[in-house]
Amino acid sequence: RAAGAYQKSHSNSIIFGYGWIINADTRELVWEMKSERIRSRHVKPDVQRDEITLDKGTYEVYYSSFPYYRSFNKWDYDEEYSLGKFIMGIIKGFDFDDWDEHDFDRLCEKFHIEVVADGQSLTQEDLSRLAEKRAESEIVHLFANRDEDYLEQGFELTHDTKIAISACGEMREDGRYDYGWIINADSRKKVWQMEFYDSEEAGGARKNRKVQETIELKKGRYAAIFVTDDSHSAEQWNSPPPYDPLSWGMRIRPADRDEKKYLKKFDYSKVAEQQTVVSLTKVRDGDYVEQAFRVEKPGLFRIYALGEGRAGDMFDYGWIIDAKSHKKVWEMEYDETEHAGGARKNRLYDDVIELDAGDYIACYQTDDTHAYGEWNATRPHDAQAWGLTIYLADKNLTPKDVEKIEMPEDENIIAKIWRVRDHAHKQVRFHLDKNSEIRVYAIGEGDRGEMFDYAWIEKENGRTVWEMRYRDTEHAGGATKNRVFDDTIFLGEGEYTLYYESDGSHSFNDWNSSPPRDPNYWGVTLYKVDKK
């Protein structure tokens, strides 16, 4: 016996209360309240009495009530439909007078479901034992019972093995919100992901989706990961839950029970730590961080970077430069990122690049809004990784082949003016013993053909022999007005003075828009050209 209620009009139905029963072992639906049976024009509890035959076994009974949901034969959230608007709809649109929240509360008090059968109720201990028994065949069980959760479990296959994946989460055609995936633990390459078009309805709200797939994985180490956003989980559903609320998350078992001996768990967090080359994470607003590292031999590296971007531009992002030449070897470009969960501007780059032997500097910078711990919109799923992480992704590389280093000042530097602030006029004298080709690396501010923060070189007699002109510069990353000159010039033997001048805005650590990708070098540097 069950009592629920809903109001049916010519266009849709608004469901108040609803119950169902599932098989505790198979987790399949065996009975649900049929709203088609209720035809009352008025909102009042309607009692259903069903007689059904159930096989011997264990079952679970559920009931949910969400007044602000409408049903077009399916549960579906109307974002514009709050409880207050629902009541106004009753008053104005449905011809029910004098309804308020207290009326709805009184209605809910009459909702119930009761099962009368030749059986017995189970205690919480009984339910726990049943859950433990179900888990015996599983190598992974990630139960996502909280909002903003990030769950992971490592598992190893000692032989090529077919695995059965069961996952339930929140997805729509336009995006994934609570979902899971599997990566190769050594390369971090994604080998499986929960996709909307491979899923089916899980009961309750339309956005509840479930996936049941069998895939074959090669011998190796893997990690299963499941994430939830800031709403609609077992912690607090914001719409009708799936038929099996305990399935929210991901479970993995061998497709053949006899092959469980080929699977074993391990602590993936330790593997990730061992593979980490550089970790610039939890980056806050208005920050710039960097880390130099040395690669002893060429190999593959996985770049895992989370940042902020929109409409083709990145605002919080990372890059890697050659430590000697300061040439860019990789940068987080918007078109190469994907949605990182949460707000659409949360972006993720997750791919492999190749680095030659040499010294590099990994860099990451943020603007003054929306970063770790200071979000102005919904945070990404893997919020703690906001920043740039570099992992080993090559079986021929070991942690001994890569090390963090402190960069000594380049012995090829002839003269430098770095980290220039507003209203500056700086100069440095230098001498050349012979006619020389030198490299000029200058970063400044310019727009529409004119430079505002820029460098130049004068000979001893005051004649300008080189000047940073807008037409000779390129975009330096960040705001389009950030300009860089990076080229060689020829100077004769003699005495020279290197100058740098800045205006009253947008300079080192006082940016009025996005800084360049190499902010510490805002200024100018002269290098000897290595002929080797």
Name the helix (H) or strand (E) containing 15: strand 13-15
Q: How many CB atoms within 10 Å of residue 214?
A: 10
Tens digit of each residue's pLDDT (9 = 90 or more) over 304-315: 999 999 999 899
Whole-number percent of the chain with pLDDT over 90: 61
pLDDT at 40: 44
Domain match, 248 and 290 both: no
Give yes or no: residues 286 and 363 share one domain.
Answer: yes
| Amino acid at the residue 289 | V
Tell me: do 184 and 107 sit in the same domain.
Answer: no
The answer for residues whose C-beta is within 8 angstroms of residue 419's C-beta and 6 or more apart is 508, 509, 520, 522, 523
Average pLDDT for residues 65-77, to the nearest whole number?
Answer: 50
pLDDT tens for residues 151-201? 999 999 999 999 999 999 999 998 889 999 999 998 888 999 999 999 999
State residue 117 phi and psi, 5-degree precision.
-160, 170
Residue 499 maps to a domain: yes
Model confidence at 239, pLDDT cuts 50, 70, 90, reads: confident
Number of domains in the chain: 4
- Kindly indicate the confidence band of residue 501, based on its pLDDT and cuts at 50, 70 and 90: very high
Q: Are residues 98 and 208 in the same domain?
A: no
Q: Looking at the domain assignment, is residue 227 inside a domain?
A: yes
Q: What is the DSSP letter of 93?
A: I
Question: If pLDDT is split at 50, 70 and 90, which confidence band does 137 have?
Answer: confident
Residues 256 and 183 in one domain: yes
Residues 424 and 342 in one domain: no
- At 474 the pLDDT is 96
Q: Mean of the per-residue pLDDT values for the chain?
A: 87
- Quote the Cα angle for 465-470-472, to 5°: 65
- On whether residue 62 sits in a domain, the answer given is yes
Whether 56 shows a pLDDT value over 80: the answer reads: yes
**What confidence tens digit (pLDDT) does each residue in 474-491 have?**
999 889 999 999 999 999
Q: Is residue 129 part of a domain?
A: no
Q: Do 95 and 11 reside in the same domain of the chain?
A: yes
pLDDT in tens, 392-448: 999 899 999 999 999 887 889 999 999 999 999 999 999 999 999 999 999 999 999
Q: How far, CA to CA in Å, does 82 sit from each of 78, 88, 246, 315?
A: 8, 10, 27, 35
Residue 143 in any domain: the answer is yes
DSSP code at position 128: H
Confidence at residue 44, expressed as pLDDT on a 0 to 100 scale = 55
Are 261 and 274 in the same domain?
no
Task: Indicate whether 418 and 460 sit together in one domain.
Answer: yes
Quick check: 91 pLDDT over 60? no
Pair of tokens at residue 518: 């190499």
- Residue 470: phi, psi to the nearest 5? -55, -45
pLDDT value at residue 101: 60
Q: What average pLDDT does this structure show over 483-509?
A: 96
Do 283 and 238 share a structural domain?
no
Asked if residue 13 has pLDDT above 60, the reply is no
Q: At which of 215, 244, 266 does a domain end?
A: 266
Transcribe 381-417 into DSSP letters: TTGGGBEEEEEE--TT--GGGEEEEPPPPPTTEEEEE
Is 429 domain-assigned?
A: yes
> The CATH number of the domain where 180 resides is what?
2.60.120
* Domain hosting residue 338, numbered range: 270-405
- Residues 398 and 274 reside in one and the same domain: yes
Domain end (from 219, 247, 266): 266
User: Looking at 90, 124, 158, which one is the last position of a domain?
Assistant: 124
Does one domain contain both 191 and 205? yes
Task: Give yes or no for residue 39 having a pLDDT over 60.
Answer: no
Domain-located, residue 225: yes
* Phi and psi torsions of 471, nearest 5°: -65, -15
131 falls within a domain: no
